[in-house]
Amino acid sequence: MIAGVSIYEILTVTTLLFFIGIYGFLTRKNMITMLLSVELILNASAINFVIMNKYLFPENLEGVYFSIFIIAIAAAESALAVAIIINLYKLVTSVEVEDTETMKY
């Protein structure tokens, strides 16, 4: 519980964060920034877990644990993604997503 801040305000922030992430994912051409956007989406949902837990079921801790898991998985996932991007860079000397569309059709 944070004094003076209602759940709606925090949810508004996380929603903004979520859609900024989606907007970034859809519009950025650089794979690194797309990865950053994905992290934003993940963070938005992680915050949501904690907030829901804190405001609605303060006697439980599942939401908090879940957000810890999300952080761990996000770290692993971004390590994997960065590894893929580095390999891709060796292949096409670019991190632009438009240069990697050879697998279409």
Structure tokens at 8: 């709606």
Judged by CB under 8 A, the chain residues 43 through 102 that form the site for other proteins are: 97-98, 100-102
Query: Residues 25, 66, 74, 85: which binds other proteins (CB under 8 A)?
Result: 25
Report the residue from 11, 17, 22, 74 that binds other proteins according to the rule CB under 8 A.
Answer: 22
| Binds other proteins by CB under 8 A, chosen from 26, 87, 90, 93 | 26
- For residue 63, count other CB atoms closer than 10 A to its CB: 18
Stretch that binds other proteins, among 24-32, 47-55, 58-66, 78-86 (CB under 8 A): 24-32
36: nearest Cα among 51, 48, 47, 20: 20
Residue 97: how many other CB atoms lie within 10 Å: 14
30 binds other proteins (CB under 8 A): no
Longest dimension (CA), the chain: 55
In the complex, the smallest distance separating the C-beta of residue 85 from other proteins, rounded to whole angstroms, is 12
DSSP 8-state class, residue 30: B
The rounded distance, in Å, linking the Cα atoms of 66 and 73 is: 11
Binding site for other proteins (CB under 8 A): 22, 25-27, 34, 97-98, 100-105
